Structure 1
């Protein structure tokens, strides 16, 4: 056959083919001769022969194109990322592609004629049955989409999206074609996004920035804490919240640590929209891509204002008197320890003054505790005004105050004189009249003092010594100052030991009762004196 190309239009058109055959034959040498009428039949047969050859060539080209198209379709079908199934009216798998075999974990030859419902999870069996029945009972082409949980051959499950197409052929045969996509990762991503969205809208302020620190997204808690709305914050730099020149060392250390480790957490001072500085607990994390390049920063912030206030309140309750706000017993003992170290290092002396208000109980009984509290507050103020800033005034309970004086003379006589001067100053201050509401009240203190120069006595011993001296002041008429006498301490210690022995003897029945008769001068017995030994 000639190498001439056929018309490019491959659509079968008998008239076009006839014309093309005549044109081809006309160009041959046989056609150029003058033909008698008897040769018309030969001419017609030759043209038809050429026409048949051209038709054959056109069919050959069409078949070749069809095969190429078929191969392309088979490749796309077999190696598609989605699984494809064709089901019969009975719900059996008639055809499937390679992805279907991989997805379900079953060899392709073993999928054929298996019931598709066998791969539907129990919780979706009813839904699948209703869907399949609906499509089978409604003839004609129809489509349905649904999500279901499928079961692999090994028993593991995965989420799948099904696109179903119902087809009814001319011979009334019915098939259901299913395109199936594994959406496990999509579901997981959706769950993670949902969790992340909930977490993002937590009570913590959240902020996401790009690699240059430009804010991309904030949550409502961020706006509540900083006062900046999302619209005001997005597009601005993270540093807009940092107080200028207040913590340059902290900021430098923060970015250095983030750049080195990808993480930093600590407290930093930042500024609200209204200009108010506040302590912020900041956790800053770097987000990196697969190449290790920082693409974003995620910051979680908390307002530490209330936390700091609570910590200060806990500290105040733990170390300070709730009424007068003076140091309490615990803080006083701690400061005594510090004073021991200082006096030993500087070779100086210190002193404790135990101050007790005279007749304070009568004031409470007659006017009530509210009036008593007013007196305590004014006494505290006057005591503080009588000593130096480095000295300590503490309230250790009720109407009892302790003053610790430091940096006194190492000479014991000079030290005692210094303490006496301060004691007299306190007596004068506390003897001034008090205005307690509508009442003018007069009160006086009794003060006991003890000196210390090193750690030879314990804190408790020093307080006992000052307490003993204070009671001596009360015994000598109140409103006075007395120093602790070691001989007095020995007598008190002996008396306390005797009281302990007497209590133990009474518990152990160790007493013996003796009677001593009492008689007149003439020998007449008038009574008896009982003695316990």
Structure 2
């Protein structure tokens, strides 16, 4: 280590001359001292001088040899230093040329080396930063960039601690705003000859582009495995790759189709011309798209929307075909369903009004050409609204489906059965005969079959339901008639069947139209009447047949029409039931009667029960029981002074629910009476099951009891049966003394009718109650 220092301070040559000069000076001084101290004649002096000269010569020789040695060492050192310098320059050149970053630290964790690539990656080359602060100083994050690396997660720190790091991905986001990168770090420890750890080196490989490429490949794979089925073929059209959606859609596995052409999917629905046009457009424009009917592996033919594109290389040569396919069978079915629903009823599947008009116009044109007579048959379920309102729409819908099914079985192939809406159906019968007489006979026979089939019991869910149908018929020959005319005429005939008692067939007559207009006018007037309070309550006394005393009354509704005067219930109640107005009208009557009776009680007038007629539509509603309880609670009327009169029809639909409702009403204290008893045909067997108090004998039996033995027998039978069941009886419509005597002698309990008093307005009946004791019918 001295040679470089000497060489640096004096120079090797100057050092040699200095040493030689000092040596000569020393020898000369020694000779002069000897000469001074010894005479020259003395042999000892010359011997001493000789010795000094010999030493001088030896010194010169030694100095020369030393100089050569020093010069040799100097040259060797110079060559070694030059070699080391060149080696360092070569190493620096290598470090600078390496694209990977290299970072070195000593065993104490101090950074000692950054190559240019590392400086570029990390954006900082300060060597004074400790290893345990590298993560924060250089912005080292986890591979996903989610969080900054902790001290023990840093590659350098891990290398010093663990001795090795392999393949650690690091996301670098330099704090000074440098370029963000993803680096792959590998670390090794450094050791001296003795194997002692003296530091660590970490290489950083930039994999940013590789990660981006991987992401792009993943995206490409995701796109390829997207919702659309995809095929990649070579330039000859041979399948090279298919995606998972293709397998799901066609049923073919990749092995099934590899090396084959897409023609394996052909369904046979397209001719050669179709495919020639496809290939022509594909080669001319580079792409084609359209709908193709293909075939799955299981043989199912289905429509698919197909897009085909050409893939070319840099020279413009076709290298691949890319085809994407979407199964549109569901879409086509949906479109077909939408189209079906546009012309068909969603509940029954029958043609709707739109399609009916089209078919009817075709039938009119056919009749006009052939001269044959056709017919339009309008069919409506009787009292369907009662069933629908009381038992719910699920039961109602089930009944309509069964209704339609029965009609379908009776329809000829060339005829049309349609649902107009609700419970209204229409049938168009073509070419029934050459004239009206033969057509009338034929359509009447068909309509009778309809009526008989529709009258059979309906078993819907847990219910056994009974109903009838009203049928209107009109003939047509296509001479100046329109579809609207035919439907209107058949509808008019159907309403005529309803007005005449339902469960009937009626043919259209011109005068029916005026009656229909009158009915529509009354329906409109009724709605106005409810708004303007034109309905008034009348009361008819009910008499104890033995004492002649006033024991009750029946509330009767009258319509005070501004032009027609008072209208009886027989004229407007059926319309109210058909239109649903009976619900609000019935609630009005029930509340008014309870309120009025409570007022009479508070005024100190005699307390008697008031009977209220309840429509089957009203009674079968699910909220009827709550409605009665609410009205009684609101008016604070004792339930014993309310009597509900219901016809046998109300009991026919659902005996279980009717029984439950009556039981609850009876438990509440409300009196129950069956009105018009004897006119029905199904409730006699249920009398002993029902919680009822009274049978009201229909006036049709009482009118002729003195002259008609059958009616007399029926009346006595009803009274006897009621007595056996511990039920009271009341005869209505009593107009003569003979009728009164007959009922009295037969054991009837109560009577009402014009013989005693006609129905009177509320104000007059109030006066009757005030003169209670004066009102008595003497025997």
After TM superposition, is the score higher than 0.5? yes
* Corresponding position: 1:382 with 2:410: yes
What SS class does the counterpart of residue 385 from structure 1 fall into? Answer: coil
State the alpha-carbon separation in 2 of the partners of residues 427 and 482 from structure 1: 9
- Alpha-carbon deviations, 1:50-70, whole Å to 9, x = none? xxxxxx9xx99xx89995x98
Partner of 1:96: 114
The answer on whether the counterparts of 1:423 and 1:481 sit within 8 Å (CA) in structure 2 is no
* Corresponding position: 1:235 with 2:269: no
* Corresponding position: 1:327 with 2:351: yes
Q: 1:428 aligns with which of 445, 448, 451?
A: 445
State the alpha-carbon separation in 2 of the partners of residues 114 and 352 from structure 1: 104
Partner of 1:162: 185
State the alpha-carbon separation in 2 of the partners of residues 465 and 211 from structure 1: 71
Q: CA deviation at 1:199?
A: 5.5
What SS class does the counterpart of residue 150 from structure 2 fall into? Answer: helix
Q: 2:303 aligns with which of 271, 276, 279?
A: 279
> Which residues of 2 match residues 127-526 of structure 1 at below 5 A?
129=153, 131-137=155-161, 144-152=166-174, 153-154=176-177, 157-169=180-192, 174-197=198-221, 200-201=224-225, 204-244=228-268, 246=270, 248=272, 251-252=275-276, 254-255=278-279, 258-259=282-283, 264-289=288-313, 294-313=318-337, 315-316=339-340, 319-321=343-345, 325-332=349-356, 353-356=376-379, 376-385=404-413, 387=415, 392-397=416-421, 400-404=424-428, 424-431=441-448, 446-449=471-474, 463-472=487-496, 482-483=507-508, 485=510, 488-509=512-533
Cα separation, partners in 2 of 1:168 and 1:359, compared to 1, 3 Å = closer
State the alpha-carbon separation in 2 of the partners of residues 261 and 244 from structure 1: 26
Q: CA deviation at 1:161?
A: 0.4
Cα separation, partners in 2 of 1:157 and 1:420, compared to 1, 3 Å = farther
State the alpha-carbon separation in 1 of the partners of residues 520 and 282 from structure 2: 66
Q: CA deviation at 1:154?
A: 0.7
State the alpha-carbon separation in 2 of the partners of residues 385 and 256 from structure 1: 47
Q: CA deviation at 1:129?
A: 4.6
What SS class does the counterpart of residue 149 from structure 2 fall into? Answer: helix
The answer on whether the counterparts of 1:143 and 1:166 sit within 8 Å (CA) in structure 2 is no
Structure of higher CA gyration radius: 2
The answer on whether the counterparts of 1:287 and 1:294 sit within 8 Å (CA) in structure 2 is yes
Cα separation, partners in 2 of 1:234 and 1:527, compared to 1, 3 Å = closer
State the alpha-carbon separation in 2 of the partners of residues 138 and 471 from structure 1: 100
- Alpha-carbon deviations, 1:368-416, whole Å to 9, x = none? 99898666435324333364xxxx431335764324579x9xxxxxx99
Q: CA deviation at 1:91?
A: 4.7
CA RMSD of aligned residues (A): 5.6
Q: 1:119 aligns with which of 120, 127, 138?
A: 138
TM-score by length of 2: 0.44
State the alpha-carbon separation in 2 of the partners of residues 481 and 500 from structure 1: 25
Q: CA deviation at 1:285?
A: 4.6
State the alpha-carbon separation in 2 of the partners of residues 288 and 131 from structure 1: 45
The answer on whether the counterparts of 1:354 and 1:400 sit within 8 Å (CA) in structure 2 is no
Q: CA deviation at 1:149?
A: 1.4
State the alpha-carbon separation in 2 of the partners of residues 242 and 200 from structure 1: 23
Q: CA deviation at 1:200?
A: 4.6
What SS class does the counterpart of residue 413 from structure 2 fall into? Answer: helix
Partner of 1:87: 105
What SS class does the counterpart of residue 186 from structure 1 fall into? Answer: helix
State the alpha-carbon separation in 1 of the partners of residues 320 and 197 from structure 2: 58
State the alpha-carbon separation in 2 of the partners of residues 201 and 100 from structure 1: 40
Q: CA deviation at 1:230?
A: 1.6
Cα separation, partners in 2 of 1:220 and 1:138, compared to 1, 3 Å = closer
Q: How many residues align?
A: 437
State the alpha-carbon separation in 2 of the partners of residues 428 and 341 from structure 1: 22
TM-score by length of 1: 0.61
Q: CA deviation at 1:467?
A: 0.6
- Alpha-carbon deviations, 1:4-63, whole Å to 9, x = none? xxxxxxxxxxxxxxxxxxxxxxxxxxxxxxxxxxxxxxxxxxxxxxxxxxxx9xx99xx8
State the alpha-carbon separation in 2 of the partners of residues 257 and 234 from structure 1: 26
State the alpha-carbon separation in 1 of the partners of residues 228 and 148 from structure 2: 39
